[in-house]
Structure 1
Amino acid sequence: MIATKALPQDQFVQVGGFRARYWKVGQGAPLLLLHGIAHSVRAWEQNLEGLSARHTVYALDIIGHGLTDKPTSSYHISDLAKFIRDFMAAVDLPKVHLIGHSMGGAIAMHFAVMYPSQVDKLVLVAPAGIGSVVGLSFRLASLPLLGEYLTRPDWKRLQTVSRSLVFDQAIIRDEFVDWQYEYNALPGAQAAHLAIIRTHLNIFGFKKWVTDMVNSELDRFKTPTLAIWGENDNVIPLDSVRSRISAMKNITLHTLRYCGHVVQLEYPEEFNRLVLNFVNG
């Protein structure tokens, strides 16, 4: 099981007229961590101590998530990338090493193309959108009514979903599900998550415009990038994107055996080592 870590103090800042929660720990060249859908800064709590030994680490609740505001506005990937840009301006971060998991990885890729001068190196952890394949539960959530049912704030459902994301289900402790439930039950959270899903996915997977955009951006990619993937990821299967990533000159792919979709939680020490070696190499 994963041990509970002491949590940093919540900090808040105005970003584009919205209140955003973030954590800041450590000293050194800045790292900015972007979580996946329906998660929060707590997705990184097993990584903060290791990464902050050499860096100032910022973990952000993306708009619509955690304790950040959840407006009824656009959740298009370009707007999410602009939110990251505005956050960096608000906390005076001209340039960062950017690390994104799943949805956060898709945002990080898009950000690196939109604002290349603001990204030093990029770490993508099972990023969304390179291929069209995505887990069935996410595709079903794109459907009317069924999506509302599947994303309802229910503790047992969240436990089942969380366990499905990892290879070793024992690491999903009740405390992990508790904070997932707390954040997902906040007003506006479900609507925000459904807006993200339905903007970018349908019953067949990621919409064609998403994969076309991402792959067009990959063809223009110049940012040095490390991609980290679990070989047992059933949300965004490695085999569905391996050939595309392996063909990219600026992307180094590292895979982990007996690992699902949440690498930073399943193998935190290995994840931290990979990230530190890459950004400091």
Structure 2
Amino acid sequence: MVSAQGSRESPAPGFPAQVVRLRGHDLSYVDTGSGSAILFIHGLLGSHDNWTHLLDRLDNAHRVLIPDLFGHGASAKPVGDYSLGSHAAILRDLVDQLGIPKVTLVGHSLGGGIAMQFCYLFPERVEALVLVASGGLGRTVSPLLRSATLPGAELVLPVIASTWVRERVEGVGKAVRGLGWRPSADASAAWKGFTSLSDGESRRAFLATTRGVIDPGGQTVSARGQLVTAEHLRTLVIWGTRDRMIPVGHAQRAREVFPEAEIVLFEGAGHFPHLEQPDRFAGVLEGFIHG
């Protein structure tokens, strides 16, 4: 069932992707190291690439799993269910397939919502939970994502994600970099995610996923009042103080679900604190896991 894959989207050097057949479709993932298992879950338009820079810090003491969710990266993009529950069930199938009894979940943005759904559905499989700029803790979300839920978005996306538009935006970016401007890790990650919408399968999966958790008014799925077993779950919440995708105020709301949660704010970071301040992120994560 599990074999090396000639990956369409290569992970970090020395960490080749593997592929497993789950529910009739190929799921691509990185699996390295040994010890207690950490399962990283990327956000909307993300992939394993959002996490692989942490591998050298973690895989000496832990088994690290980094899947590409269905609809993302090198994994299949089938027509079907892209709800939080479906994603969580697929990840449970992955750890079952690999014979892993329990995992520490680290979820970013959409991945945080999936991680909380995993806790709700499979609490006996969760060692601890880390939420990074997580969805599912309040209504507010970027107008950019809300716009993807509007009627006609499927007609607009092929135009704004077209090669013609991307080449011109990249040309402008190259010109301003020549003047000394450098994009932040936040901006680079967002742009890389946007460029993944160049093919129809990815756009369809993106719209299905987005519309499963967001409507024109904001986020539609909330963990508040749902995770009744969460008060005893060891939980860490990490957020950037300049997050423009999901406001940092949602970090404090996590305590309504996880009363004993540890909250760490990354001053000056945006929606991707693990990319913008990777050394601090790795240190905080290690301290929490071993604490």
Q: Tell whether 2:237 aligns with 1:227.
A: yes
Residue 9 of structure 1 deviates from its aligned partner by: 0.5
Aligned partners of 2:195 and 2:268: how far apart in 1?
29
| Residue number in structure 1 paired with 2:109 | 102
Identity %: 30
**1:200-211 paired onto structure 2 within 5 Å:** 200-207=213-220, 210-211=221-222
Moved more, 126-135 or 52-61: 52-61
Report the residue type matching 1:202 in the other structure. Answer: D
Contact 2:184/2:276 (<8 A) preserved:
no
Q: Tell whether 2:161 aligns with 1:153.
A: yes
Q: Tell whether 2:28 aligns with 1:21.
A: yes
Q: Tell whether 2:50 aligns with 1:43.
A: yes
Which of the numbers 226, 237, 245 marks the counterpart of 2:254?
A: 245
Residue 27 of structure 1 deviates from its aligned partner by: 2.1
Q: Tell whether 2:75 aligns with 1:77.
A: no
Aligned partners of 1:178 and 1:135: how far apart in 2?
15
Q: 1:173 to 1:251 in 2, by over 3 A?
A: closer
Moved more, 178-187 or 192-201: 178-187
TM-score, normalised to structure 2, is 0.83
| Residue number in structure 2 paired with 1:192 | 205
Q: Find the residue that maps to 1:72 and give its secondary structure.
A: coil
Which consecutive unaligned segments of at least 5 residues does structure 2 have? 1-10, 171-181
Aligned partners of 1:171 and 1:73: how far apart in 2?
32
Q: Find the residue that maps to 1:104 and give its secondary structure.
A: helix
Q: Tell whether 2:62 aligns with 1:55.
A: yes
Which of the numbers 268, 275, 278 marks the counterpart of 1:265?
A: 275
Residue 245 of structure 1 deviates from its aligned partner by: 2.3
Q: 1:6 to 1:55 in 2, by over 3 A?
A: same
Report the residue type matching 1:145 in the other structure. Answer: G
Which of the numbers 125, 140, 151 marks the counterpart of 1:144?
A: 151
Contact 2:237/2:251 (<8 A) preserved:
no
Contact 2:186/2:271 (<8 A) preserved:
no
Q: Deviations over 1:81-101 (max 9, x none)?
A: 111111111222221111110
| Residue number in structure 1 paired with 2:178 | none
Alpha-carbon RMSD across the aligned residues, in angstroms, is: 2.6
| Residue number in structure 2 paired with 1:256 | 266
Aligned partners of 1:86 and 1:47: how far apart in 2?
24
Q: Find the residue that maps to 2:53 and give its secondary structure.
A: coil
Q: Deviations over 1:251-271 (max 9, x none)?
A: 111101000001111111111
Aligned partners of 1:249 and 1:178: how far apart in 2?
35
| Residue number in structure 2 paired with 1:169 | 183
Aligned partners of 2:13 and 2:264: how far apart in 1?
29
Report the residue type matching 1:203 in the other structure. Answer: P
TM-score, normalised to structure 1, is 0.86
